[in-house]
Each structure stands twice: as structure tokens, then as C-alpha cells.
A and B are shown apart, each in its own frame.
Chain A
Amino acid sequence: MRKSNSINWTKKDLLDLENLSKEEIELILQTAASFKEISTREVKKVPALRGKTVVNLFYEPSTRTRISFEVAAKRLSADVINISTETSSVRKGETLIDTGKNIEALKVDIIIMRHNYSGAAVMLARQLKASVVNAGDGWHEHPTQALLDMFTLREKLGRLEGLNVSIVGDIAHSRVARSNIWGLTKLGAHVTVCAPKILIPPSIEQTGVRVTHNIEEALAGADAINVLRMQFERDSAKSFPSQLEYFKTFGITKERLKSAKKDIIVMHPGPINRGIEMSSDVADGENSVILEQVTNGIAVRMAVLFLVAQANDYIKTKK
């Protein structure tokens, strides 16, 4: 299945991209490439995780990430259980660790967790023998989103090294931005982050990115632009006066794209606020790869589930 790659995946969890090596990230992307074809088959299923149980533990509402993980797990023949906080004893005040240990006691192999607190997945993984896959923790990281963004980029442009990628939007409160920054810089891309000053977190340059507050500057010479969702219903709201104001100064429009490379790739992690981060004609236009990202998300998540399960099997047999 894997091509000329000497490195093995040895981690039971996927928690972040910051602490992965370039080789580990490449391994995930390569594994994803080999899984992508499965979703094009008439029978979209392989037995790789047959007999494994996967739990989607979501402390925040999410549709696309949860479904993407569910589809990925099912195409690998795993059994999937969805738990959302509305229906669980979390509401009765159970701690995260207790919830995790109870799920583990059901002999679950992988817990996929979305949590509103930064670091929650790291904490859970430390306490459990089961694998933990971070599906987004607070403002910290959303590793599989960044991996699918990178996968899509590489598929489109053939490489990541040397690419100019601009990330536009609420960088301060974005886990998608953080994971993309770590992943892309490790693989040799040049990353620019663009946002109003108040939405750029302090010392972000220390991650190796360039900072601009000017959208034209972010677009100039960019091979790709990753447009983040402005969460006006949440954190972004406190920092910016109005949605219209944001669209005027930072929104991606056909007009603005004229100054960019003709074949610039436009990405968005979804769900899109049409008319806030980008206009509809861009979202649906020829530069947009937004729906391909969704498709690739399945292959990337299949790869992640497969690799952590395999590594954990190995860890358990060694003990």
C-alpha cells in the first residue's frame, strides 16, 4: 500500500501537527492518496478496520467533520458510535476523563473528539490506552482539516515545497489556521497570514509565517489562498465591527482575484458565510476547490484512522 517510505507511523494518537515530523505528515498524505480510490468504487468499503469500534465524541456542534469521520470509519468497515454532549451524561457534570474512561471500558478502539477547550485532546490521550484523534480543540489545532487542505493542494499543484499559501481570516481564534501553519511550514511552503491586526495573535511570526493586514498583499503571488470562516456568532464578533465592514476590507471577490495569479487555488474549511469571507461567484467559481476538499477529507481521515489503529495494535501486542 505504501510506496518507498521507510518511516513507520508509531503514534497511537493524532493530536496536532506541531509535534509531527515532516516525514510523518508525508506518510499520512501518501496513505490518504492510496485510500482515495476506494471512495470511487461501486462498493465503497475495505475491511481494514473490521471489528474496530470508533466513537465520535463531540462537545461542540459539528456536522461536516463528524460526518466525514463517520464516512471514513465506515468505509474502513469500523463500527461507529456518535456521542454528542446533548445526549450524554456530560450534561450531568461528568468529567472529560471519566467520560473517556467509560468509553474505553466499552472496548472502543478510537475516540475522535471535538472539544471547545484547547488541549482537551492532549489531556484525554495521556489518560487513555485507546487512540485519540483530535477533531478540533478550542483555538488550538484541527489537524485533519489541515491535512486535507494540504492533500488537496498537493493534488492540484503536485507539490507543497516552495508554494506560497495565504491564510486569510480570524487567525487568532482559528484552530484550522494553526494546524495549517505547522503542517505547511514543515513541508516547505511559504505561509502568509492575513487579518485585521486584532485578529492576528501575538508572536505568530515565531511559527515561521509572514504577517500582513492587507488582502491585496496576501493575494499577490499566492499559489493558494485558504479563507477561514469568520465566526461572527462567536469569538470573531468581539473583534470586528460588522460583517459588511469585514467583507469590504478582507472579503475575497472576483474583482480582488484579478490581481492574483490566474490559477490561484481558493480553499475554505466550511461552512462558508457567503458574502462575508468570500462572494458566491468565488465560492462557486473555477478557482474554488471547496467541494474537492470535502471529498479529500474522507481519504485523509481514513488514513489517520488506519494509521493510529495499526500503531495502537502494535503498541498493545508489544505489552
Chain B
Amino acid sequence: MKLIIKNGHVISPADNLNDICDVAVQDNKILKIGKNLKEIADNTIDAKDKIVMPGIIDMHTHLREPGREDKETVSSGTLAALVGGVTTVVSMPNTLIPIDSIENIKLLKGIIEKRAQANVFICAAITKDRAGRELTNIAKFKKEGVVAISDDGASVDNAEVMLKALKKAKDAKLVVICHSEDKFLSANGVVNLGFTSTKMGLRGISKESEYKRVKRDIDLAEKINASLHITHVSCLESVEIIAKAKKKGIAVTADTAPHYFALSEEAVWGYDPNLKMNPPLRTKDDVLAIREALKQGTIDAIASDHAPHTENEKGIEFERAEFGVIGLETELSSAITYLVEGKILDMVELVKKMTINPAKILGINRGTLSPGRPADIIVVSKDKEWVVKKDSFHSKSKNSAFLGKTLKGVVECTILGGKIAYVNSHR
């Protein structure tokens, strides 16, 4: 079975590719890349005037299975991924049944094997029940195919426990993904602390609650020469701390989510729960700092923090509504709209942050178009516009922060392991 994608603008930073050429796929792997390939193919995709790039790797998603299949399933979440050009996701462990034991990892693996429509890698919990006290069986996770550990949604408050976790993860060669938040400092807040919390009459989440914990986590990693990854960075101070640590040679990497480079706190002034997430939307200065950090490389990756919630959980009073927004189906478009159109990143830099960089952080053999590698490829109309509507989504949930917005960039085709897994017909 042979497939050729012809005449596309191929961008693959890992392979130093940024040129019009053809990509040939044999079975589930990349066969070769070159100009005017004369291969005889079973299937040809015309990618003229389109971008051809490795499938996106999203290192922070919530697929909600097992336990909350009303919000999302492995099947619906990975379908949403394909529509968004995401061929690989990392599923976070804070499911109703937490992924904190070999048994639960096996349970999730079974579901993935049966029903996943894209590649799913597992991030397991750092502590039992993500309660921050008792470490999970970190040493045995790697063998089960786990790529990272995190107590996402919470941070390990006890520094000693966190230090032990970093050490075990280092020995096991697993990435530690830090949701860095001091819950005592964020104190039941729901929006950014400052003018926004004041004028809305809501409890605020301080920036300190984030960056002080970022600092602590980095300090712990430095102490034992471990590496760590800070996820969903939202504010200027965190960026400065990470930049300083990188300069010092500490093995820290970071990601941010599209809403943090696209939207500032003003967006939430209308009390729309679809703009409620944790960390919250910050000030305009923070948004500029996040963009600059993406440009400078302080922030290595873009991840969606795809957090589906039902309308019943979102269509209620702002303070009671769940935190989080979906993002798999909008992440590439929002990045093109706000970062490429906004002249923060060029396409090559953007592709890096959504493919090879997360692959490197996770230590997975993807994110490139090198011959012999898995053929996860997407074809994108970069300048095509679409309006984000509730019925645009394939996710079970519709809680997008970009509803009503016009975004640029449409995924025309997603190829997963050499097979055409999704073709756009509605955007």
C-alpha cells in the first residue's frame, strides 16, 4: 500500500524541510521525500498550496475515560484530535478512576487498544489518588508504556514527596509534568487576582500561586539534577523563572496552551464559563510575555489542555462551573491565527513547538517525516478561515474558549500510520 502527497509545502523542522516537495508513504511508514517523486502510488493526495507537516503531538489532554464518558471518551477525544490535526495525544491521569496503579494503567491501555482513533500515550499519576502523599509505583510504569507522570489538576504540596518523585522519575527515565499551583495561595479563586477579580466580585487566583510553585519545582529538580516539564504556563513571572533556569543549564522544559497566548483576562468579564480555566486568563502583559517566551524558546511546546465538560457543568453560575476548555480541534488554527498571523512565530517555529519539541520532551519516536518513521502526517490550508461554532466540534463537549471567533487554518487531511484517518468536508 503506497500513498503519495504531492506538491505540498512540506515543513518538518526535525528534517530541515521547508520546501515544495512530495512525500511518499509505504504502509505505515514514511518512505521518502523529494521533488517530483515518480513512485506509482495506490493513492495520491494533491497538496498544492497546502502545508504538509508531521501530525501534531499534544502532550496535555483529558480524555475523561475511564469514569466520565459523558464528557469525553478515548474514542471521541481521539476523533476530535484527528480533526484538529493531532495524531498523538498524552492523556492525563486525573480521570474519575485515577491512573495511579499498574492495574489502572492496564485498564486504560485496554480501552486505548480497542477504541483509540489516534495514538494515545499515557501519563500516570505521581501519587496515589493524586493526593500528594504516597508515591505511585513509578519505577514500573515505563515498562507499561507510560511516557510521563503528573498529578495534573494538583501539585504535590509536600516538597519531600516531590523530590522523591523527581528522583524516581529520573531513574525510570520518565518526564515529570508539573501543574505548578500552590492551592493555599490560589485560595478557591476563579479568575485572575487583580482588577478582574475586583470588578467581577469574584475570588482571585494570584500569579504567585503559580510562579512560586514553578520556582519550587525547578529548585527541587536542580538539587538532584533531574529534568522536569512545567505545563500550562500562564504568566510573566513563571516565564522569567523558567528562562533563568534554562540559562543556568537546568533541564526544564515548558508548554503553554492556546488560550494563554490568545486571550487576556478581559475576555472573562462577561462571566462566560467557557472562559473559566485554571490557571486563569491573565493580564495583557502576561499574554505578551507568553508570546515572547514562545518566540525566545523559553516555552518549548504548545499543548491544548483539552478539558471537556458537559453543558450541565458549564451552563451554570460562573463560580460553580467547572474549570477548563476544550482545545484539540482549535489548537492549530488558534496558533496560526494568533502566533503566525501575529508575527510571533513563523510556520517552521510553530511546527517545531507542536511536533518535534513535544516528541523530544516525551522521548517518543515521532514528530518527524524521516524515512522509516511512523507516517503521521497532516495537510493544512493555512489561510482558510472558519468560524468556531458549537456544531463544529467532534468532541463530546463544546466548551471552547474560541466559540464565535474566526480562526485561520484548516486541517484538510490527517494521515495516521499511513492511513487517511480524516478528510475535511465541513470547514
A-side interface residues toward B, CB under 8 Å?
A: 18, 95-97, 115, 117-120, 122-123, 137-141, 175, 178, 201-204, 206-207
CA distance A122 to B318 in the complex (A): 10
User: B271 contacts which chain A residues (CB < 8 A)?
Assistant: 118-119, 122-123
Select one of B194, B195, B312, B319 contacting A118, CB under 8 A.
Answer: B319
CB<8 Å pairs between A and B, sample of 26:
A95-B316, A96-B316, A96-B317, A97-B316, A117-B317, A117-B318, A118-B271, A118-B319, A119-B202, A119-B318, A120-B317, A122-B270, A122-B271, A137-B201, A138-B201, A139-B202, A140-B201, A175-B201, A201-B197, A201-B198, A202-B194, A202-B197, A202-B204, A203-B195, A206-B195, A206-B198
Q: Indicate whether B193 reaches chain A with its CB closer than 8 angstroms.
A: yes
- Judge whether A118 and B318 touch: CB under 8 Å: yes
Identity of the chain A residue whose Cβ is nearest the Cβ of B193 in the assembled complex: A202
Interface of A is mostly: mixed
A262 → chain B, closest Cβ, in Å?
Answer: 34
Identity of the chain A residue whose Cβ is nearest the Cβ of B204 in the assembled complex: A202
User: A140 contacts which chain B residues (CB < 8 A)?
Assistant: 200-202
Select one of A96, A178, A206 contacting B201, CB under 8 A.
Answer: A178
- Judge whether A118 and B202 touch: CB under 8 Å: yes
Identity of the chain B residue whose Cβ is nearest the Cβ of A203 in the assembled complex: B195
- Judge whether B199 and A123 touch: CB under 8 Å: no
User: B316 contacts which chain A residues (CB < 8 A)?
Assistant: 95-97
Select one of B204, B312, B315, B319 contacting A117, CB under 8 A.
Answer: B319
User: A138 contacts which chain B residues (CB < 8 A)?
Assistant: 201-202, 319
Identity of the chain A residue whose Cβ is nearest the Cβ of B315 in the assembled complex: A97
Identity of the chain A residue whose Cβ is nearest the Cβ of B271 in the assembled complex: A119
B309 → chain A, closest Cβ, in Å?
Answer: 15
Residue of A96, A120, A123 with highest tally of chain B CB at under 10 A: A123
Interface string of B269-313 (1 = CB under 8 A from A): 011000000000000000000000000000000000000000010
User: A204 contacts which chain B residues (CB < 8 A)?
Assistant: 198
Residue of B194, B201, B312, B319 with highest tally of chain A CB at under 10 A: B201
User: B202 contacts which chain A residues (CB < 8 A)?
Assistant: 118-119, 138-140
User: B317 contacts which chain A residues (CB < 8 A)?
Assistant: 96, 115, 117, 119-120, 123
B194 → chain A, closest Cβ, in Å?
Answer: 5
User: A95 contacts which chain B residues (CB < 8 A)?
Assistant: 312, 315-316
User: A202 contacts which chain B residues (CB < 8 A)?
Assistant: 193-195, 197-198, 204
B217 → chain A, closest Cβ, in Å?
Answer: 26
Interface string of B184-226 (1 = CB under 8 A from A): 0000000001110111111010000000000000000000000
Q: Indicate whether B405 reaches chain A with its CB closer than 8 angstroms.
A: no
CA distance A203 to B198 in the complex (A): 7
CA distance A201 to B192 in the complex (A): 13
Q: Indicate whether B106 reaches chain A with its CB closer than 8 angstroms.
A: no
Q: Indicate whether B244 reaches chain A with its CB closer than 8 angstroms.
A: no
Identity of the chain B residue whose Cβ is nearest the Cβ of A139 in the assembled complex: B201
Select one of A117, A122, A175, A203 contacting B320, CB under 8 A.
Answer: A117
CA distance A273 to B374 in the complex (A): 73
Identity of the chain B residue whose Cβ is nearest the Cβ of A115 in the assembled complex: B317
CA distance A227 to B270 in the complex (A): 29
A137 → chain B, closest Cβ, in Å?
Answer: 8
A62 → chain B, closest Cβ, in Å?
Answer: 17
B323 → chain A, closest Cβ, in Å?
Answer: 15
A54 → chain B, closest Cβ, in Å?
Answer: 23
A21 → chain B, closest Cβ, in Å?
Answer: 17
User: A203 contacts which chain B residues (CB < 8 A)?
Assistant: 194-195, 198
